[in-house]
Amino acid sequence: MPEFLNLLPPDAAIEAFLEAIPKDRNTTPEKVPTEDALDRILCETIAAPHPLPPFNRSTVDGYALRARDTFGANPGLPAYLTIVGEVEMGKPARHNLEASQAIVVHTGGMIPPDSDAVVMLEDTQWAREGEIEVLRAVAVGENILQEGEDVKTGDPIFQSGQRLRPQEIGGLMAFGVTHIQVARRPRVGILSTGDEVIPPGTTPQHGQVRDINSYTLSTLVARAGGEPIRLGIVSDRRQELEKAAKKAQQEDDILVVTAGSSVSARDITSDVIASLGTPGVLVHGVAIKPGKPTILAVVNGMPMIGLPGNPVSALISAGLFLVPMIHRLLGFERNALKASLSAELSVNIASQTGREDYLPVRVVNSAQGPIAEPVYGRSNLIFTLIRADGLVRIPAESTGLAAGTKVEVHLF
Amino acid sequence: MPEFLNLLPPDAAIEAFLEAIPKDRNTTPEKVPTEDALDRILCETIAAPHPLPPFNRSTVDGYALRARDTFGANPGLPAYLTIVGEVEMGKPARHNLEASQAIVVHTGGMIPPDSDAVVMLEDTQWAREGEIEVLRAVAVGENILQEGEDVKTGDPIFQSGQRLRPQEIGGLMAFGVTHIQVARRPRVGILSTGDEVIPPGTTPQHGQVRDINSYTLSTLVARAGGEPIRLGIVSDRRQELEKAAKKAQQEDDILVVTAGSSVSARDITSDVIASLGTPGVLVHGVAIKPGKPTILAVVNGMPMIGLPGNPVSALISAGLFLVPMIHRLLGFERNALKASLSAELSVNIASQTGREDYLPVRVVNSAQGPIAEPVYGRSNLIFTLIRADGLVRIPAESTGLAAGTKVEVHLF
C-alpha cells in the first residue's frame, strides 16, 4: 500500500494534465464534405437558414380542407366536399380552396394556403364522381406538420465542439450544408523504446520481443479521433530518445512514449521530457493498477505522455489519459454519458485501498443475467485483454469486491 | 392497436430475414495490412506459431539466481551471492549459473537457463564489490514470467468472425502477423425515392425537400462495417425504381430503398422487390414504432430492405434490421453484449401493447443520477434524433412506463 500513498489519484492527474494546456491550443479547423464527416468534431456554430419543414406538410394520405367545413360531421350526417384537384408531390400547392372544397394530398405533400386541416382517407368515402363524404369532424391543424415545427429560422442548430453522428450528417444535409469546418485530427506521435523491442515484421532472437504498443496505441488514437504517427522504435539510450522527441516536438500535436520496462529506462523518459521545455513533467506516477508509472507532461504547450512499456498497462493508461487529451485538442465537448454493462462479479476480488484498479473481465450470460469473470494474467500480458470484453473499475476507497456484487463493465 | 395485430414482432422479423440468407452468402475475404485492420472482421483462424512470451522473462529489476541458494535467508542471516554478469536487454542470457552465483537482470530481460527465480533489487544489498546479500528467501519461479505463460504454441488465438480491437491488432503483431484476411465490406446500395426529394446541394422549390436518408443511412452503413454506395434519388415511377434496383442487384450485396412516404409509393417498392426474384418479400410491416412499414426481402440470395421515407423511422429501422444483416454478411460472430446507460424516466410514457416502441431520449445528470427525458417530435422529424442521446426500448407487452422507472438508454 505505501507505494501508492504519494501518487496522484487518476481524476486529479487528468485534471492537472488538461488544465496545463493553453486555452487556445485546439487544433485548427479544416473544411470537409459533410458526407465524409461522420464522427468528426464540428468547428463552427450553424444557425438554421430556413425553417424545417420549409412548408406545411401533410402527415397522412387524405384530403386537405377547411376544418370548419367538417363541423359536426359523423357517419350518419357526413360533410359533403367537392374535390377540386390533387397536390402533386414535389410541386407547390397552388389551389385556392373555397367553402366545401377539398384537395387530394399525399403524405409529405404541401398543404394549400387556404387549407387548415387534412382528413385521412380512411375517414372518408366517395359520394359521387368529384365529391366525398367526410365521416368525422377534423380539428384545425389536424394531420398537418407546420412549417418550422422541427426548426425555426435562426435556431442555433449545431454547436462548435459537437461530434457528428449519422443524424447530424442528415440534419446538415436537410439545410443544404454540404461542406463544414471540422477540427483537424491531432497528430499523435508514438514512440516505442527498449533495446529488446523489434519491429513486428522481423524475427526475434532470444531476448527480443516484437513491438506491440505502437500498434495498440495507434489504433486507439485513430478510434479517439487522432491521427497516429508511428515514430518507430528507439533504444534505451538518452541521446536517441532525445533526438526522436525533439523531432516530434516540431511536427506533432501530442507525443506518446512507451518507456522501456526497467526503472532506469523510465527515468530516462522523464528526464528527456523535462529537458524539452516548461512546465515539463506534471505527474510522475498515478495511483492506478495497471498503469502506475504513467508520466504526464506539458512542454511549451504540447502534451507528452510516458506510458509503461507493458502492453496492458500502456493501453489502459492511454484510455484514461491520452484519449481525453485528444478530445481536448479537438475541442470536443464531451457529455459525460458513458454506456456500460451491468453484471455480477463471479468471484471475490481483493484490492488495495488508495489506488484505483482496472480489472479485465469476460462477460458470460447466465440464467441470472450477465456474469463478469476476471481474466487473470499475472503479468499483464496482451492476451489478457484479448480474452476480455471490458474493464471493471474498482474505486480507490474499496478493499475489494465480493462475489455477486453488481459491477459496471466498460466494454472495449 | 388492431393495426399492429397482424404484423411480425421485430425479433421474429429479423430472424426470418437472417435465416433466408444462404449459409455461404458471406462476403469474400481480402488481405490487408494488420495495422489497417481496426474494427474489421477476421476471416481466418490463426494458431500461435510460437509461445508468448517466447522465453522466460523477469518481471522486476533484480538478480536472477537459483532459489535453493537463498533457502532460509533473512535480514539477520542473508545469503551471499557472487555477481557474475548482467543480462543485456534484447540479448540472450548465455551465462551458466553455478552455486551461489547471481546475474543482474532488468524487467523484461531474459532469464539464464540455470536460473529459476529472481530476487528484487529492494530485497538485496551490496556486500562488497561483486557480491550481494539476499535478505529473504525466494521461491522457485518467483518474479519470472514463464515461456508460454500467455499463449502456448498451437493455441487457437484468433477465430474467423472476430472483430479486431486495438488489443487484437497488438496481439497479431506480437506474432509477426503483419497481413491478415478480413471480410470484404459488403456493398450496400442506398436508393432514395420520392418525387419531392432533391439532392442536398440544390435549392428546394415549394413542395420539395432535400434528401436526408441517403446520408444518415450511408454513415450508419459505414459505421456498421459496410461500404455505402449512394445510388441517388429516383422518382415514384415504377419503371425508374425497377431499373435502379436491377442495377443494384448486379453490383451490390444489399439494397436499401427508402420508400416515398405515401401508401402507393410504398406499394411500388414492395411490388418492384417482389418482381426481382425469389423468395421475395418476407416481411411487410413490423410491430414497432417508429418503423412499422419496413419491408424485408431476400431476392435470389440478396437481402433487400424497404425503409419508411421518414428520416427518423428510416434510421431507427435500419439500426434494427440493416445493421445485423451487414454483420451477417461479414460473418461477424457478435457476442450479444450491449452497453447501455441506466437512467430514470422523467415522465409517464404511454405505449400500445402489441408493438415495441423506440423512444428518443435526452439524458440529463441530476443529483439522483441520470434522468432520461423523452424528446418529443410529433412527426418524427430528424432534429428529434439530433436532440436525443439514445433510444429507450419499450417492450411489446408494456402499456407504458411510469415516471421514475429505471430504463436502459441505448446511446447512439
Report the percentage of chain A scoring pLDDT > 90: 89
Contact between A58 and A143 (Cβ < 8 Å)? yes
Which pLDDT belongs to residue A24? 87
For B19-72, what is each residue's pLDDT tens digit? Answer: 999 988 888 999 999 999 999 999 999 999 999 999 999 999 999 999 999 999
Residues of B in contact with A195 (CB under 8 A): 88-90
Dist CA A298 CA A328 (whole Å): 13
The candidate with the shortest Cα–Cα distance to B311, out of B408, B396, B209, is B209
Number of H helices, E strands in chain A: 9, 28
Together in a domain, B129 and B166 = no
For B313-326, what is each residue's pLDDT tens digit? Answer: 999 999 999 999 99
For residue A383, the domain's CATH number is 2.40.340.10
Together in a domain, A158 and A216 = no
Query: What value does the mean pLDDT of chain A take?
Result: 94
Report the percentage of chain B scoring pLDDT > 70: 98
For residue A378, pLDDT over 70 is answered with: no
For residue B3, pLDDT over 60 is answered with: no
Which pLDDT belongs to residue A1? 40
Together in a domain, A237 and A301 = yes
Which pLDDT belongs to residue B5? 57
For residue A324, the domain's CATH number is 3.40.980.10
Cell triple for B39? 474494427
Tell me the residue range of the domain where B86 lies. Answer: 57-145
- Classify residue A404: in a domain, yes or no: yes
- Classify residue A57: in a domain, yes or no: no
Which pLDDT belongs to residue B94? 84
Q: How many domains does chain B have?
A: 4
For A114-149, what is each residue's pLDDT tens digit? Answer: 999 999 999 999 999 999 999 999 999 999 999 999
Q: Which residues contact A251 (CB under 8 A, 6 or more apart)?
A: A187, A189, A229
Q: What would the mean pLDDT of A333-352 be, rounded to a whole number?
A: 90
Cβ–Cβ below 8 Å for A110 and B207: yes
Per DSSP, helices labelled H in A149-200 are 166-174
For residue B96, the domain's CATH number is 2.170.190.11
Last residue of a domain, one of A162, A183, A204: A183
Q: What would the mean pLDDT of A197-222 be, rounded to a whole number?
A: 96
Question: Could you tell me which chain A residue has the CA closest to the CA of B108?
Answer: A261
Together in a domain, B208 and B282 = yes
For B250-295, what is each residue's pLDDT tens digit? Answer: 999 999 999 876 777 778 999 999 999 999 999 999 999 999 999 9
- Classify residue A274: in a domain, yes or no: yes
For A148-206, what is each residue's pLDDT tens digit? Answer: 999 999 999 999 999 999 999 999 999 999 999 999 999 999 999 999 999 999 999 99
Contact between B283 and B296 (Cβ < 8 Å)? yes
Contact between B348 and B278 (Cβ < 8 Å)? no
Contact between A115 and A65 (Cβ < 8 Å)? yes
Together in a domain, B396 and B406 = yes
CA distance A5 to chain B (A): 18
Last residue of a domain, one of B301, B330, B359: B330
Together in a domain, B234 and B371 = no
Identify which has the larger pLDDT, A4 or B192: B192
The candidate with the shortest Cα–Cα distance to B54, out of A206, A262, A344, is A206
CA distance A279 to chain B (A): 30
Dist CA A150 CA B207 (whole Å): 16
Give Rg (Cα) of chain B. Answer: 31
- ipTM, 2 dp: 0.95
Together in a domain, B35 and B22 = no
Residues of A in contact with B166 (CB under 8 A): 215-217, 219-220, 223, 315, 412
Q: Which residues contact A141 (CB under 8 A, 6 or more apart)?
A: A67, A116, A117
Which pLDDT belongs to residue B1? 40
- Classify residue B335: in a domain, yes or no: no
Together in a domain, B318 and B353 = no
The 10 Å Cβ neighbour count of residue B130 is 10
Cβ–Cβ below 8 Å for B365 and A93: no
- Classify residue A335: in a domain, yes or no: no
For residue A259, pLDDT over 50 is answered with: yes
For B107-143, what is each residue's pLDDT tens digit? Answer: 999 999 899 999 999 999 999 999 999 999 999 999 9
Cβ–Cβ below 8 Å for B109 and A207: yes
Cβ–Cβ below 8 Å for A215 and B55: no
Residue type, B61: D
Together in a domain, A93 and A135 = yes
Four-residue CA torsion sign, A171, A173, A179, A184: positive
- Classify residue A77: in a domain, yes or no: yes
Cβ–Cβ below 8 Å for A370 and B337: yes
Together in a domain, A235 and A134 = no
Question: Could you tell me which chain B residue has the CA closest to the CA of A342?
Answer: B339
Which pLDDT belongs to residue A95? 83
Dist CA B41 CA B44 (whole Å): 9
- Classify residue A212: in a domain, yes or no: yes
Q: Which residues contact A308 (CB under 8 A, 6 or more apart)?
A: A258, A259, A261, A266, A290, A291, A292, A293, A294, A314, A317
For residue A339, pLDDT over 90 is answered with: yes
Contact between A258 and A314 (Cβ < 8 Å)? yes
Last residue of a domain, one of B145, B168, B195: B145
Cβ–Cβ below 8 Å for B341 and A339: yes
Together in a domain, B293 and B193 = yes
Together in a domain, B162 and B267 = no
- Classify residue A336: in a domain, yes or no: no
For residue A106, pLDDT over 80 is answered with: yes
Output the pTM of the full model. Answer: 0.95
Which of A40, A50, A94, A107 to mutate to test binding with chain B, by most B CBs within 10 Å of its CB? A107
User: Across the interface, which of A110, A205, A382 has its CB nearest the CB of B206?
Assistant: A110
Q: What would the mean pLDDT of B80-87 be, rounded to a whole number?
A: 96
- Confidence class for position A358, pLDDT limits 50, 70, 90: very high
For A261-318, what is each residue's pLDDT tens digit? Answer: 677 777 899 999 999 999 999 999 999 999 999 999 999 999 999 999 999 999 999 9
